[in-house]
């Protein structure tokens, strides 16, 4: 399966299951708000990484699907909350009104809360996982999403507005805010195999670290070079907020060079376990760096 078909098939399987989620909540308004953001398209990169890592670990079953759903629920919850007035105060997400604009702030907060809790519930209930796998996955995802992961990165991001960060500080911020969930995606996929190879896990950690930075650098570049129509959210918002970005620190050409370097590091990590640039993981790295939205 080539990368385009792999991504399309992953999205199709994932979204069919996501559509069936939250089937009978007490509040239909809450369900509508949850599905508004959960089914609002997107690249579904993180679920694709879960599936690709499961394949790399030697599991070609459908065991990747529930961990991928859980990860995507956590990711979407973070987007809903990040868009709130108390955070980034954004009006657009993927070309549509953000959740709190389409509904209201209280509903958006509760939708995010429900997505987060459901993510761990479906992992705990997944009958395809052993108790040990479920515990490992829940621990991995909760740490990646928490104070020493995504949430911690968002806190640093908020505290860093209108401040001059060093390149090292910016890397730390995005390793937590963006990279932690990308690394978690790879761990979740590898853990679909009951005896995941430690060397593979380490290589995937290193690959994920580089890929997370490459993703963020590319985001910073697109904020400058792409239109609001293409991005699905306001372009130039980082510049308007006076946020430190890879472009503001390195310039456009320097940021592109840094993205390429992170791509090289990602491929080097894969090479240690016999995966080349033509493997699914290698193609995903190229996809992240070359994406135009």
* pLDDT tens, position by position, 86-113: 999 999 998 899 999 999 999 999 999 9
CATH code of the domain occupying 3-290:
1.10.600.10
Upper half-sphere CA count for residue 61 (Cβ side, 13 Å): 11
What's the CA gap between 242 and 232, in Å, rounded? 20
61 token code pair? 């079953």
pTM of the model: 0.94
Q: Is residue 97 classed as helix, strand or coil in its secondary structure?
A: strand
Residues lower than pLDDT 70 in the chain: 228-236, 238-241, 293
What's the CA gap between 146 and 25, in Å, rounded? 26
Q: Is residue 89 classed as helix, strand or coil in its secondary structure?
A: coil
pLDDT of residue 164: 86
**What does the radius of gyration of the chain's CA atoms come to, in whole angstroms?**
18
């Amino acid at each position: 399966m080539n990368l385009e078909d792999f991504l399309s098939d992953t999205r199709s399987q994932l979204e069919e299951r996501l559509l069936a989620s939250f089937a009978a909540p007490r509040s239909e308004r809450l369900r509508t708000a949850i599905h508004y953001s959960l089914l609002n398209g997107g690249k579904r990169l993180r679920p694709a990484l879960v599936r690709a890592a499961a394949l790399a670990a030697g599991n070609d079953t459908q065991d990747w699907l529930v961990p991928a759903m859980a990860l995507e629920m956590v990711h979407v919850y973070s987007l809903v909350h990040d868009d709130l007035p108390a955070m980034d105060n954004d009006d657009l997400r993927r070309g549509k009104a953000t959740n709190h604009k389409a509904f209201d702030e209280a509903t958006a907060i509760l939708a995010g809360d429900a997505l987060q809790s459901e993510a761990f519930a479906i992992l705990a209930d997944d009958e395809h996982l052993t108790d040990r796998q479920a515990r490992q996955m829940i621990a991995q995802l909760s740490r990646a999403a928490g104070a020493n992961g995504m949430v911690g990165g968002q806190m640093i991001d908020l505290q860093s507005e209108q401040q001059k960060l060093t390149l090292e500080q910016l890397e730390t911020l995005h390793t937590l805010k963006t990279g932690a969930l990308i690394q978690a995606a790879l761990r979740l996929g590898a853990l679909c195999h009951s005896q995941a190879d430690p060397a593979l896990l380490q290589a995937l950690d290193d690959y994920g670290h580089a890929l997370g930075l490459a993703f963020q650098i590319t985001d910073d570049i697109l904020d400058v070079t792409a239109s609001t129509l293409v991005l699905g959210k306001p372009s130039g918002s980082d510049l308007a907020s006076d946020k430190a970005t890879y472009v503001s620190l390195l310039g456009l050409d320097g940021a592109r060079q840094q993205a390429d370097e992170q791509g090289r590091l990602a491929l080097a990590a894969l090479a240690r376990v016999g995966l080349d640039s033509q493997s699914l993981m290698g193609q995903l790295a190229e996809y992240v760096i070359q994406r135009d939205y």
